[in-house]
Structure 1
Amino acid sequence: MARKDFDPSSVRPDARPPAQARLFDPAGEGPWRGSVEGIAMGGDVTVLAYGTDTPGAGPRLHVHPYDETFIVTEGRARFFVGDTVIEAAAGEIVLGPAGIPHRFENLGPGRLQTIDIHHSPRWIQTDLD
């Protein structure tokens, strides 16, 4: 499917160079695989990698002053976003809106792997439990 959402001649490059960073070591241990703040890449989003093989395990309840988008790349997760509970599987995304406390856990069986996009050039978080 061909797309033409805008006229490329209407956008002026902003002079930022292309950038590259290592998000995580595939052989690394532990659930928090790595993070790259947008500020280090000259961008507007911060990217985190999270993975665990333990059913029931996941990040603690926390909140951000910006939106967070979760991409489930492997396994199944249960997300708690405010008063809403969402179950998501590999290939699905979940939005945690700014100011709404959230957490998620591995539903199992097997590995849960997510890429978490913080809509901010810096990772800013307050843990609530």
Structure 2
Amino acid sequence: MITRADGRSDGDDWTEDFKELPGGPGISLILESTTQEGHGPRLHLHHYAETFIIRRGSATFTIGSEDVVGRAGQILVVPAETPHKFRTGPGGYEAVHIHSNPTFETVWLE
């Protein structure tokens, strides 16, 4: 079991990174939550797939050469070796990012 580092006992506004999770599931997680527009990482790729489960708000993703708007209730999967980035939409964004690797391995392209 993992408990929030900030001591809160709810799931709201939870932003935290988890790698090498207990039990050896072979994944790492990013919990992302912001009320701000225009936030997100610059262009990068991973040697493994990354899955985005969008819980609130929206973000515009660039995946390869395609731009897609992901919204609450959708799941996006970025295949291994695919350049990607995103920018949060109006009102922000909350999502779980699942890295198909026990640690984060990122190749920054910009």
User: Please, what TM-score do these two structures have when normalized by structure 1?
Assistant: 0.72
Structure with more relative contact order (C-alpha pairs < 8 Å, separation 6 or more): 2
Structure-2-length-normalised TM-score: 0.84
Q: 1:46 to 1:72 in 2, by over 3 A?
A: same
Uncovered stretches (5+) of structure 1, i.e. residues with no partner: 1-19
Give 1 or 2: higher strand fraction: 2
The alignment partner of 1:87 has SS state of strand
Q: When the two structures are aligned, how many residues end up with a matched partner? A: 105
Larger radius of gyration: 1
Q: What's the CA shift for 1:36?
A: 1.2
- Asked whether the 8 Å contact 1:21–1:36 carries over to 2, the reply is no
The percentage of aligned residue pairs carrying the same residue is 31
* AA in 1 matched with 2:18: V
Q: 2:15 is paired with a residue of what secondary structure?
A: strand
| Aligned residue number for residue 21 of structure 1 | 2
Measured in 1, the distance between the counterparts of 2:102 and 2:46 equals 13
Match of 1:128 in 2: 109
Q: 2:99 maps to what in 1?
A: 118
Is the 1:23–1:36 contact (alpha carbons within 8 Å) kept by the matching residues of 2? no
Supply the AA of the counterpart residue of 1:47: L
Shift of the 54–91 alpha-carbon distance from structure 1 to 2, 3 Å rule, reads same
Within 1, Cα distance between the matches of 2:41 and 2:25? 25
Confirm whether residue 83 of structure 1 aligns to residue 39 of structure 2. Answer: no
Where in structure 2 are the equivalents of 1:1-129 lying within 5 Å? 20-22=1-3, 25=6, 33-37=15-19, 39-41=20-22, 42-108=24-90, 110-129=91-110
SS in 2 for 1:124: coil
Higher helix share: 1
Are the counterparts in 1 of residues 61 and 68 from structure 2 also a CA contact under 8 Å?
Answer: yes
Superposed structure 1 runs of 4+ greater than 6 Å apart: none
Q: 2-side partners of 1:81 and 1:23: how far apart?
A: 30
Query: CA-atom RMSD, angstroms?
Result: 2.1
